[in-house]
Amino acid sequence: MSCGNVLSLFLPHFKRKRSGGSKPLSQRTVLAGILYKCRSGCQWAMLPVCYGSKSTVHEHFQCWSKAGVMTEIFRILL
């Protein structure tokens, strides 16, 4: 099983707080944005637009961190 497939097992489905807004980002794009931020050390505001909205990526990061998902992902990657 590849690393991407293993990681997808830990990523919970993201539920929006309200309807409307832009099209949802793929979990892979969101995770890539989080990993870019961790690797580069940039501020959330400086996250490249190719990873989507900085607030959306940050919201996923907060949700996944509280659920312990990021701990498991970092453990697998290490």
Please indicate, yes or no, if residue 14 is contained in any of the structural domains: no
Please indicate, yes or no, if residue 12 is contained in any of the structural domains: no
Please indicate, yes or no, if residue 39 is contained in any of the structural domains: yes
Nearest one of 68, 66, 63, 38 to 51, comparing CA atoms = 38
**Confidence (pTM):** 0.77
Please indicate, yes or no, if residue 10 is contained in any of the structural domains: no
| Dist. CA 14–CA 11, nearest whole Å | 9
Please indicate, yes or no, if residue 59 is contained in any of the structural domains: yes
Which position has the higher pLDDT, 38 or 5? 38
What is the secondary structure of 31-77 as a DSSP string?
Answer: HHHHHHHHHH---GGG--GGG--HHHHHHHHHHHHHTTHHHHHHHHH
Place of tokens 């990523």: 11
Please indicate, yes or no, if residue 4 is contained in any of the structural domains: no
For position 28, what pLDDT does the model report?
87
Please indicate, yes or no, if residue 66 is contained in any of the structural domains: yes
For position 20, what pLDDT does the model report?
64
For the stretch 11-58, pLDDT in tens is 666 666 666 666 777 888 999 999 999 999 999 999 999 998 999 899
| Dist. CA 38–CA 8, nearest whole Å | 19
Please indicate, yes or no, if residue 9 is contained in any of the structural domains: no
Number of domains in the chain: 1
Range of the domain at 60: 26-78
